[in-house]
C-alpha cells in the first residue's frame, strides 16, 4: 500500500511542476550542532520541516568523537 501512496504523491509532484523545499542547514542527530549547508528536498519526499532538517555532520559521519 505504501508504494501506491508514494506513486500518487510523485504524480501530484509532477503535476505541480516539481516544487522543492529549500533549507539553509540541518541539525546533527548525534552531537546536535547546526550545519550551514544549503539543500533542497522534493515536496513529495518531505517529512515536514522537523524531519527534513536532521542528518549527520561531517565529523560524526566520519566516526570521530569530540
Query: Quick check: is 15 in a domain?
Result: yes
Mean pLDDT of 49-59: 91
Q: Based on the structure, what is the number of domains in the chain?
A: 1
Those residues whose C-beta lies under 8 Å from the C-beta of residue 49, and which sit 6 or more positions away, are 23
pTM above 0.85, yes or no: no
Residue 37 lies in a domain: yes
Is residue 66 included in any domain, yes or no?
no
Q: Is residue 40 part of a domain?
A: yes
Residue 22 binned pLDDT confidence (cut-offs 50, 70, 90): very high
Query: Quick check: 36 pLDDT over 90?
Result: yes
Full DSSP string of 47-60: --HHHHTEE--HHH
The confidence score (pLDDT) of residue 65 equals 57
Radius of gyration of the chain (CA): 15
Average pLDDT across the chain, whole number: 88
2: cell is 505504501
Q: Which domain holds residue 54?
A: 2-61
Residue 9 reports pLDDT greater than 90: no
Amino acid at each position: 500500500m505504501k508504494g501506491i501512496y508514494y506513486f500518487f504523491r510523485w504524480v501530484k509532484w509532477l503535476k505541480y511542476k516539481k516544487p522543492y523545499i529549500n533549507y539553509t542547514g540541518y541539525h546533527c542527530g548525534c552531537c546536535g550542532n547546526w550545519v550551514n549547508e544549503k539543500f533542497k528536498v522534493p515536496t513529495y519526499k518531505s517529512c515536514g520541516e522537523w524531519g527534513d532538517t536532521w542528518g549527520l555532520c561531517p565529523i560524526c559521519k566520519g566516526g570521530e568523537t569530540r
